Amino acid sequence: MPGSAFFSALEEIYPPERLLRRPAALAAYESDALTAFRVRPLAVVLAESQQEVIDTVRACYEHGVPFVARGSGTSLSGGSLPIEDGIVIALNRLNRILLVDPARRVAVVEPGVANLAVSQAAEPFGLYYAPDPSSQPICTIGGNVAFNSGGAHCLKYGMTTNHVLGLKVVLPDGEVVTLGGDSLESVGPDLVGLFVGSEGLFGIALEITLRLLPRPASFRTILAAYRSMKQAGEAVAAVVDSGLLPGAIEMMDALAIEAAEASVQAGYPEGAAAVLIVELEGEEAQVEAEFKTLVQVIEASGAYEVRVAQDVAQRARIWKGRKGAFSAVGRLSPDYVVQDGVVPRTRLGEAMAEIERLSKAYGLRVANVFHAGDGNLHPLILYDGREEGALERAEALAAEILAMCIDMGGSITGEHGVAIEKRAFLPKMYGEVDMDVMVELRESVDPKGIANRGKMLEVGPWRREG
């Protein structure tokens, strides 16, 4: 427990209304979107300026108090879960868009800016910010940077890391550094690349330079319904094999479709075991040429119903079901955990069959709504937390899915991060030496271990003595 000197330091930085310490005020910060875990922090500070964040980190360092940066708390892996005996530095008021420069096609933002707000600010210039997690109306750029968040367009456009050019960062000891710049090109080691995806363990991003892209000139969106997941999985492989590079290839299974229908009435075909959404985008002449190929591939793939969006409204309707599916599935059940492991795309069908088998074996419903184009699964495992042992069963099922992803040569997480939830699995994906290096990097950058302590790296049995 830090002494009163630490709190005096915080009182120097913050007015009382932005330094929360009463239990009632802290309750809202006790967990993130991984709701199975709750921890009450000692205090929450609501930062409004970069200097306040820097001063806070320095106070934490001086007093050895751990801190957790928090954007909007939509982490699905427990990334923004508070630390006992630590504080939460809430950043969603640090949300100025400092610059949108159409000439250089960059935006400079503070970390609390919502993902979608960047695209909105860029829109008048015909530009947008490509990474689009389903949570984009709320999740923050700071959270996106910490987790290297993805979305529906990663195969073609990459993840957050591919759109961050520069960062201003306060390291865990209060030093402020600038990484990268505002050019697409660079010389020297890619320190931006190392920081993005570091899950808050290397400090807090204060200012982020993002790359903007011109809005695609046209879209062609197709929805195909299948009688089996296997067929849909094979269709994904066929689309990719045809030499097309769609902007998005998304897949939903029966349970996800049912939930989405109940929630947003997207009008998906009835009785589908799976639907596939494929979208082409770019210059019209090119897209039209590619679309002919796409229609041929889809027609040959055994789809029993194919719909082509004829206008903006129909396209929006198709996407509404997909983007709403995630939270809709959440409503099917009191609780759920979601995994986001990655498998080689050619093994999607196999992976889906295995998940179905596990679902039956564990007696838990699993809905799938995911980024098929890059093999990024999103099984939502439904359970009822009030039921004795249900959470444990859901976790055991999740563990088997992760083990499958590792066995198939994939990854335990494509975009949601490791944080608390997958801590035990990181050493299964990487070797002993790889883990050593990660732990050493953490210790070198954060010798007191105060930045997001206990996340991602659990000092565990792989750690050699001495």
Partner 1 sequence: MIHCRTIEEVQEAVQAHRWVRLCGRGSKPALFGGASPDAETVCLSGLVGVERYDPAEYVFTAQAGTPLQVIEAMLAEEGQYLPVDAMFVERGGSLGGLVAANLAGPGRYRYGGVRDFLLGARFVDGRGRLVRGGGRVVKNAAGFDLARLMVGSMGLLAALVEVSFKVFPRPEAYGSVRARYDGLKGALAAMERLSRAQFDIDALDLAPEGFPSGRTWLWARMGGREEALAARLAAFLQALEEGPAEVDVAWDEEEARFWRDARELAWVEEGETVVKVPLTPKQALRLERGFAEAESCAPLGVRYGVAGNVAWLRFGHLPKEKMVELDERLAAMGLAGLVVMGEPGVRWLGEQGWRNVFFDRVKAVLDPEGRFV
Ligand X SMILES: Cc1cc2nc3c(=O)[nH]c(=O)nc-3n(C[C@H](O)[C@H](O)[C@H](O)COP(=O)(O)OP(=O)(O)OC[C@H]3O[C@@H](n4cnc5c(N)ncnc54)[C@H](O)[C@@H]3O)c2cc1C
Residues 196-215 that bind ligand X (CB under 6 A): 199-200, 204-205
123 binds partner 1 per the rule CB under 8 A: no
Alpha-carbon distance of 28 to 73, in angstroms, equals: 10
Binding mask 55-94 for partner 1 (x = CB under 8 A): ----------------------------------------
Closest by CA to 40, choosing from 87, 92, 94, is: 87
The candidate with the shortest Cα–Cα distance to 462, out of 422, 434, 420, 441, is 434
> 């809005």: which residue's tokens?
215
Q: Which two structure tokens, joined as six digits, stand for 431?
A: 């070797």
Size of the site for partner 1 (CB under 8 A): 95
- Answer whether 43's CB lies under 8 Å from 20's CB: yes
**List 317, 345, 378, 455, residue binding partner 1 (CB under 8 A):** 345
Q: Which of 2, 111, 180, 341 binds ligand X (CB under 6 A)?
A: 111
Is residue 359 close enough to count as binding ligand X by CB under 6 A?
no
41 vs 180 by CB, closer to partner 1:
180
What backbone phi and psi angles, to 5 degrees, belong to 97? -90, 110
Residue 140 near ligand X by CB under 6 A: yes
Does position 183 interact with partner 1 (CB under 8 A)? The reply is: yes
Q: How far is the CB of 264 from ligand X (least distance, A)?
A: 13
378 in contact with partner 1 (CB under 8 A): no
Indicate which of ligand X, partner 1, none lies near residue 216 (CB less than 5 to 8 Å, by partner kind): partner 1
Contacts of partner 1 in 188-217 (CB under 8 A): 188-191, 193-198, 201-202, 214-217
**Interaction between residue 229 and partner 1 (CB under 8 A):** no
Residues in CB range of 70: below 8 A, 6 or more apart: 29, 32, 80, 88, 89, 90, 91, 92
Q: Which does 134 bind (CB under 5 to 8 A by kind): ligand X, partner 1, none?
A: ligand X
Does 125 contact partner 1 by CB under 8 A?
A: yes
Residue 80 binds what, of partner 1, ligand X, none (CB under 5 to 8 Å, by partner type)? Answer: ligand X
From 81, 222, 249, 342, residue interacting with partner 1 (rule: CB under 8 A): 342
First-residue to last-residue Cα distance in the chain: 28
Residue ranges in 257-296 that form contacts with partner 1 under rule CB under 8 A: 282-283, 285-286, 288-290
Binding string, residues 289-328; x marks residues near partner 1 by CB under 8 A: xx--------------------------------------
Question: Measured between alpha carbons, how far is 409 from 126 in angstroms, rounded to an integer?
Answer: 40
Nearest to 102 by CA among 178, 212, 262, 244: 212
Tokens encoding 154:
């990663």
Q: Which residues contact 362 (CB under 8 A, 6 or more apart)?
A: 393, 394, 396, 397
Burial class (CB in 10 A: 0-12, 13-18, 19+), 392: exposed
Rounded to 5°, angle at Cα 416 from 415 and 420: 140
Which of 418, 420, 450, 451 is close enough to bind partner 1 by CB under 8 A? 418
Q: Which partner in partner 1, ligand X, none is near 261 (CB below 5 to 8 A by kind)?
A: none
The tokens for 425 are 């699995």
Distances in Å between the alpha carbon of 197 and those of 141, 144, 154, 193, 343? 12, 8, 15, 8, 20
Residue of 66, 71, 349, 379 that binds ligand X (CB under 6 A): 71
How far is the C-alpha of 424 from the C-alpha of 415, rounded, in Å?
17
- Residue 181: both structure tokens together: 């710049």
120 near partner 1, rule: CB under 8 A: no
Residues lying near ligand X in the complex (CB under 6 A):
32-33, 68-76, 79-80, 91, 111, 133-135, 139-140, 142-144, 146-147, 149-151, 199-200, 204-205, 326-327, 415-416, 419, 452
